Structures are given as structure tokens and as C-alpha cells.
Amino acid sequence: MAQITLKNLAHSYSATPTSDADYALKQMDHVWQDGGAYALLGSSGCGKTTLLNIISGLLRPSQGRVLFGDRDVTDSETAERNIAQVFQFPVVYDTMTVRENLAFPLRNRGMDPAYIKARVAAIAQTIGMEATLDRKARGLTADAKQKISLGRGMVREDVNAILFDEPLTVIDPHMKWELRTQLKQLHREFGHTMIYVTHDQTEALTFADKVVVMYDGRVVQMGTPEELFETPAHTFVGYFIGSPGMNLLNAAVVGNVAHLQGVDVALGAAYAPQTGRTQIGIRPEYCALSATEGLPITIRRVEDVGRHRIIRGEVAGQVVNVIAAEGAAIGADQTRVRFEPARINVYADDWRVQGGAV
């Protein structure tokens, strides 16, 4: 096991990249702590899988180095890196039994048969597949196959990290929850570094201690689920995490006041004058309808999702969502929306601006 360091890493699928847009991964420095449970979150095509394949060695980065501990593995083969990877679609060797599948990575490395036998038995118990050890892998369900893929990764005791590439995509919803819980438990028990790629925020937030959000080939924020929720570093994080995402409104920010449509919105902190596009961001959870104060809102639709209601509206032509408690009355006189000042974040050109004391 080792800490994984990415130094000046960048990757382009084109042989002669000319502009920034040619890079699937923009230059980045990143450290994955040994034993951490990370989620790599982002929309499709943002470079998550590219980054994962670079770590596992299936792809060689166009520039920069990959370090495992102090060892430079940029040019090492996948097999030398001692990485396990679980793919989006379950990969099992169809014609082998479950037992042979689990033993395969060890047999290829020429391990002692007695050792292999003991390891396979231990892993089968860990992933709960002792009963099906002698069945052919072909006829098993998708979640069982995915467990085998995981088991094949864990069977080697010296794996540096286990990488998951959207592993629950083809799993039934009720099995997803169970597998996720199992993963979390395995992490606690064995302490492997785990990097979990997903575009599902629930998966990311429940699995990981640290969530890494990627957008357009860049890591835009790494933080705990709470940090991502309260202080998104980039408008994409605000928009991508949360259901619905953060409300973003163009506004002029002066000191601790934002001017919007001739109405002043109080902010929780003071800000230096900003250049470029300035926006204020507020989570729907921290908005409330009001009859007397706040910004005028046009309500388009009210969705009742069971535990609360989502009010979809517009403020000065920009979408604003409000989450209201299930019992709260929504009257015709409530034509304004109020924001909690302390929960408002300010963004200049999509990046969060740190505010000072009022």
C-alpha cells in the first residue's frame, strides 16, 4: 500500500495537442492518501475514467509523473503496479468457476497452490460467495459477477489500491445499496486505498470520506461531503451536488451586499470588488418563500417529492428552486424569496471567492 501522487499530470488523446481543449485531463497535481476512500465524481466525459486508467497504468499520461509512495511508476506496466480495478460492466472469465476466477491472478503470478487455496477461501468468505465457489461464473447475476471482479482484485494481499469505474451501473437498485455497504465495510476492515468513479452523487457521498469533483478535465474541488454541500468551490460543484442543485444568480457584489434587480441581498461576509462575471449561489435548502421580504419570484411549478416540496421558480429570468417543508403553506401572496445571508456563496467567473469579516 502506498500514497499515490500525481505530479504535473495531463493527458491528451490527440498526438499533437495544440490548445487546452485538446486535453482530456488538464494539468493537475493531486495526492491520494494511503488508505483513503475517495470518490471521483463528475458528469460523463469529464475525464474521470481517463484519470483512473492513468493511475492503473492502462493509459500512459502525455505529461507528468505518477508516483506510488516514492516509486515512479509512470512507465510501469499495469501488472507491476499491483492495482486492482473493477469495471463498469462485470468482467469475469466465463468458462471458469468462481473458484478459478478468484485464483486466476494468483496463479498467473506463480503462487504456491496451498497459499492460493487459503486466499481464495478467505476472499470467498469476505465477499460472501462460499456457496457458489464451484459454479461456472457465466450463469451468475450481474451483482454476483461484480463481486467476483472485486474479489479478484482483493485476492492479492499486496494491492496498492482498488479502483472502481462506475461499478454499480448495471446493478439493480436494491443490490446497489447492499454492495455499497459491503464496500464500505471492506474498506474499514482492510484499509485499502479505494478510488471510486461515479456520476451518481448519492453513491459518491455515501461511499467516500473525501469526494473529488471533476469538471472539464480538471479537479475543481476535493472535500468532505459537507464541504461540497456548504461551500462548493466551483459553480459546477454547487450545481452538480444537491437535488436540486445550487441556485446561481448574476449579481453585483459590493462589500457585504449583492445588488440584484434593484433589490439588495445581505451577504454573510464582505467581499472585495470583483472583476468578470459575479454570481451569488444559494442552496434551495436555505431559501424560503415570503410575503414581505426578499426578491420577487415567479413560481412555475411545485413538486411534491414526499419528504419535502420543491418550488421551481424564476427570479429576474434566472431559475431559482426553493425547498419547503412538507407542511408549509404556499399561498398566493408569497411572491418573494428570502435567502439566509450566512449560506450565500459568491462566485467570480465560476470560482468561489473567500469573503472577509463584515
Partner 1 sequence: MEKTQNNKAWFLVLPVLIVVAFSAVIPLMTVVNYSVNDTFGQNDFFWNGLGWFEEMISSDRMHAALGRQVLFSAIILAIEVPLGIFVALNMPKKGFWASFCLVLMALPLLIPFNVVGTIWQIFCRPDIGLLGRGLTNIGIDYNYTNDALDAWITIIVMDVWHWTSLVALLCYAGLQSIPQAYYQAAKIDQASRWSVFRYIELPKMSGVLLIAVLLRFMDSFMIYTEPFVLTGGGPGNSTTFLSIDLVKMAVGQFDLGPAAAFSIMYFLVILLVSWVFYTVMTTLDAQETK
Return residues touching partner 1 (CB under 8 A).
Answer: 53, 56, 58, 77-79, 83-85, 87-89, 91, 93-96, 104-105, 108-109, 135-136, 138-139, 149, 152-153
- Phi, psi dihedral angles at 25 (to 5 degrees): -125, 120
The single-letter DSSP state of residue 135 is: S
- Phi, psi dihedral angles at 131 (to 5 degrees): -70, -25
CA distance 97 to 101: 6
Q: How far is the CB of 302 from partner 1 (least distance, A)?
A: 43
Residue 97 CA to chain centroid, in angstroms? 34
Q: How far is the CB of 219 from partner 1 (least distance, A)?
A: 23
- Match 459537507 to its residue by C-alpha cell: 226
How many residues are there in the chain?
358
- Quick one: which H or E segment has residue 263? strand 263-271
Q: How far is the CB of 186 from partner 1 (least distance, A)?
A: 18
CA distance 249 to 278: 8
Give the 3-state secondary structure of residue 91: coil
Q: How far is the CB of 53 from partner 1 (least distance, A)?
A: 8
CA distance 172 to 167: 12
Residue 327: partners with Cβ closer than 8 Å, 6 or more residues away: none
What cell numbers appear for 190 in the block? 482492510
Q: How far is the CB of 90 from partner 1 (least distance, A)?
A: 9
> Which residue, 71 or 107, is less far from partner 1 as judged by CB?
107
Angle formed at CA 327 by CA 322 and CA 331, multiple of 5 degrees: 65
Closest Cα to residue 38, out of 46, 30, 26?
30
Residue 342 CA to chain centroid, in angstroms? 26
**Separation in Å, CA 104 to CA 2, 89, 123, 140, 229:** 24, 19, 13, 18, 42
CA distance 240 to 248: 12
